Structure 1
Amino acid sequence: MSNEAYVPAQYRHEHTPYRRAGRSGLRLSPISLGLWQNFGEDRDPRTLRDIVRRAVDLGITHLDLANNYGPPPGSAETHVGRILAQDFSRHRDQLVVSTKAGYRMWEGPYGDGGSRKYLLSSLDQSLERMGLDYVDVFYHHREDPETPLEETMGALHQAVVSGRALYVGVSNYSPERTREAARLLGEMGTPLLLHQPSYSMFNRHVENGLLETVEDLGVGLAVFSPLQQGLLTNRYMSGVPQGSRAGGSSGSLSERQVKDPDYQARVRGLSEIAHQRGQSLAQLALAWALRHPQVATALVGASSVHQLEQNIQTLDNLSFTSEELARIDEFAVDGTGR
C-alpha cells in the first residue's frame, strides 16, 4: 500500500448496477463491505486499509458496521474511523456508513437491548470511534421484548431528527415486528429504510413471510451471511483448513458442521452448478441471494483484496434460468450446516 494520498478510481461507478433501497431514493452497491468478524485488532491495519480502498475503487459505496464488531467490540469502528480520516475525509458524501446497537456492548443495565438510553448513547460512542458527525443508516440490531417497541423506534426517530443518522433500519426482526416498527416510525415521520436479516442458500427464513412484508412496506433488504460464514465456499470441501473458522475452539463454525455428510453432498452439488455457470461457489451463492428485487445489497466480508475482487466478479452474472433455480433448490436446504 502506498503512502501517497489516495484518489478513488475515476470510473468506479460506471459498471456497478446500484439498487434502490425499497421505495427510497437511496441506492446501494449490490455487494457491500460487511465488517463483522474481520476488522478487529487481530488484523494488520495496512491490510484493512487496502481492502477498503480497493472496495471503493470497485464501486462499493456501503460500509456496514455495528458497535460490537471486532473483536474486541468497538475495534472495527475504530479501524474504519482511522481509514476514513486517512483516505476519505474529502469523499464522505460518496459513502454510505451504517452502524447498529442492540446486543451487549458494555456492562451494567444500560449497555444492551432497545432502550432509548442505550441506543442513543451507543450511537454517540460509535460516531466518536469513527470520527463522524453522522451515520447514513442506524439500525436496531435485534428485537428486545423487554422494551416497548414505541421507545425503541422513538430512539431511532430521535437519531434522525438530531442529525446523527440520515436513515434508520432494523435487523433480525420478525415480519410481524417489522410491520409494527414501520408503522410506528411512519407515524413519527421517519420511514423505515432497511431490514438486515441473515439469508443464504442454507438459511432461507426470509422466504417465510419477510420478503412479502418488506415488499408491502417499501423497505429494502440488506442481507448478511450470504456465504453462511464460509460454508458456501469451496473452503471446506476437502477438510478443515488451519486457521479457518471451523478450526479451533474459538471458531464460529465447528468441525462437525463442515464434515456433516449432508453438508458435503449439498455443497458439492451446488459447486457443480456454479462450475457450469462459470462461477465459484461463493459467486453462485451471492448471485442467488441477490436474485430477489427486495434485496438492495448483500453484505460480504473480505480477509484480503483478492477475496474482495473475486466477490465483486459475481456481478458479471446475476441472472438465473428457471431450470438452474430448480436444480439449486435440490441442494439449497434450509438448516444445512447447523
Structure 2
Amino acid sequence: MNETPHKTTMMTDRRGFLGAATAIGAVAAASMQGGGLGVTSAAAQTAASASAAGPVLTRTIGRTGETVTALGLGTFLTFDMLPGGNREPLRAVTKTYLDAGVRVVDTSPLYGTGEVSLGTFMSGMGMTDQVFISNKIWSTGDYLADESHMLRSLEQSRLRLWRDKIDPLFCHSLVNVDVVMPTLRAWKKEGRVRYVGASVHENTYHDILAGLIERDMVDVVQVNYSIFNRGVEDRVLKAAQDKGVGVFINMPLEKGRLHKITEGRPLPDFAREIGAANWSQFFLKWVIGNPAVTTALPATSNPGHAAENVGALRGPLPDQAMRQRMVKHMETIPGFTTLASMAWYPDKGTMYQGVIRRSQASLRQRLS
C-alpha cells in the first residue's frame, strides 16, 4: 500500500514521541493538577512514576505496517454530555492521554456528543492529524445497497472530527454487515477511509467477527476483552494473529465493574513485577500483555482516573505465566466470577447523563 500524506505525518510524529517522551507523563499530570481540573496529587505521582518506566508501548498492525500505541482513549458514554454541560473534565482527560503519549482515540456518531467534544479538544490542542482516529458506521440507506445514509454519517464524522480521512472505519456492532462491509471496502479502494474494520461488544458475535477476519474482509477489528471476559481468545485473537489483523479492545475495565469488586483491596505483591501501581494498570497490562492485542481502549470522564490509566502505556508487560497468575488472583476475590450480572458503572447511576441516557429514559417512560 502506498503511504498517504496523513500516514507519513503520523509516523514522523511517532518517531519523535517514541524517542523523547520519557518525561511526558509527569508534565501532563503536573499541568492538569495546576489547572484545577480535578487531578489528585496521588494520580499525578502515579503518572509521573509511569513516565520514568521506559518508552511508550506500541504495536504494529501486521497487514498494514501501521504502528500505534498499545493504549488508546475510548469515549462511549463517558464523552456524551448534554449541550451546555461542563466539558472541562473531558478536555483534561483528553490532554492527559495525549500528553502521556497516547496516539489512538476511538469514537462513534452513536456516542451522542462524543465526536463533537473529542474533535474540539484535539483541534484545540493541535493534535488532530497526529492521532490514529477510529470511528464507526451503522447506517446504510433507503434500500438495499444504497449508501446514502452511510455517506451522510461519514461526512458528519469528518466535520465533527475535522479530519479528511478516518483511519479505521468500523461496521458498528455488525449492523447490516452484508451491505456495510463491501461498501467500506469500496471506500478504502477509493481513498475515502484508510482501513476497514468491524466491531462488536458481546461474545455472541465473536464467531461472526472471526469469520470476517478469516475471509480477509477486515484490516482491524474491535472486540470486548478483559481479565474477566476471555471468550475472544477462543477464535478471534488466533485468527487475527494469523491474518495480521489489528485488534482494538473495548471494555478492558468492564465498565467500572472490575474496580467495584476490587474497591478498597490492595494490589497483590506481585503487581510490582509488571510495574502496575494501581488496579487500572493491573487490568490494562493484563489485556495488553496478550501479543494478539493491538490497543486497549479504556474510557473515563475522570482526569484522575485517566492519569492512572496512562501508566499502563509504559513499563514491563506480563508474560503468559504471569497473566495466568493474575487471573487466579482475581478468582479469589468475591464477586469476580459473577461480575457479568452487575450493572455497568455501578454506583454511578447519575453519571454520563448525555443525550444517549436522555433518550433511553424517554423510551422507558413511554413503555411504562
Do they fold alike, i.e. is TM over 0.5? yes
Structure 2 portions without partners, runs of 5+: 1-12, 20-54, 342-368
Corresponding position: 1:322 with 2:348: no
Aligned residue number for residue 178 of structure 1: 210
Q: In the superposition, relative to structure 1, how do residues 163 and 170 fare at CA in structure 2: closer, same or farther (>3 Å)? A: same
Question: What amino acid sits opposite 1:302 in the alignment?
Answer: T
Q: Secondary structure at the match of 2:215?
A: helix
Give structure 1 regions of 4+ aligned residues with deviation exceeding 6 angstroms: 8-11
Query: Which residue does 2:18 correspond to in 1?
Result: 13
Aligned pair partner of 1:67 in 103, 109, 117:
109
Which of structures 1 and 2 has the larger relative contact order (alpha carbons within 8 angstroms, sep 6+)? 2
Question: Secondary structure of 1:20's match?
Answer: strand
**Cα distance per residue 1:8-50 (max 9 Å; x no partner):** 9996433212111233211111110111121122552222222
- Counterpart Cα distance in 2 of 1:46 and 1:298: 24
Distance in structure 2 (CA, Å) of the matches to 1:184 and 1:21:
14
Residue 226 in structure 1 maps to residue 252 in structure 2: yes
Question: Quick check: 1:137 aligned with 2:168?
Answer: yes
Instruction: State the one-letter code of the partner of 2:210.
Output: T
Query: 1:326, 1:158 → 2: CA distance?
Result: 45
In the alignment, what sits opposite 1:167?
195
* 2:213/2:239 contact within 8 Å kept: no
> Using the alignment, how far apart are the partners of 2:326 and 2:122 within structure 1?
43
| Offset, 1:142 | 1.4
Structure 1 residue matching 2:227: 3-state secondary structure: coil
Residue of structure 1 in register with 2:131 after alignment:
95
Cα deviations across residues 134-164 of structure 1 (Å, max 9, x unaligned)? 11110001124xx462x22221113323433
Q: CA deviation at 1:196?
A: 0.4
Contact 2:57 2:69 in 1 (8 A): yes
Q: Within 1, Cα distance between the matches of 2:338 and 2:245?
A: 26
* 113-122 or 288-297, larger mean C-alpha shift: 113-122
TM-score normalized with structure 1 length: 0.72
Whole-Å Cα distance in 1 between the matches of residues 15 and 309 of structure 2? Answer: 21
Counterpart in the other structure of 2:301: 303
TM-score with structure 2 setting the length: 0.67
> Aligned AA for 1:216?
D
- Structure 2: distance between partners of 1:44 and 1:232: 27
Deviation at 1:321, TM superposition (A): 6.5
User: Structure 2 residue aligned with 1:82, among 120, 135, 141?
Assistant: 120
8 Å contact 2:199–2:222 — kept in the other structure?
Answer: yes
More helix per residue: 2
Could you tell me which of 268, 271, 275 is aligned with 1:272? Answer: 268
Instruction: Indicate the SS of the match to 1:300.
Output: coil
- Counterpart of 1:259 in structure 2 is none
Task: Give the conservation status (yes or no) of the 8 Å contact 1:182–1:217.
Answer: yes
**Counterpart contact for 2:289–2:323, Cα < 8 Å:** no
* Distance across 2 between alignment mates of 1:298 and 1:335: 23
Partner of residue 52, structure 1 = 94
Provide, for residues 37-72 of structure 1, a one-character-per-residue CA deviation record: whole Å limited to 9, x for no partner: 211225522222222222222111111001111xxx
- Number of aligned residue pairs: give it: 281
Partner of 1:336: 339
Aligned pairs for 1:178-217 (under 5 A) are 178-180=210-212, 183=215, 185=217, 192-217=218-243
Using the alignment, how far apart are the partners of 2:245 and 2:206 within structure 1?
14
Task: Identify the residue that residue 8 of structure 2 maps to in structure 1.
Answer: none
* 2:100 maps to amino acid: L
CA contact (8 A) 2:73 2:104 kept: yes
Which residue identity is paired with 1:279?
A
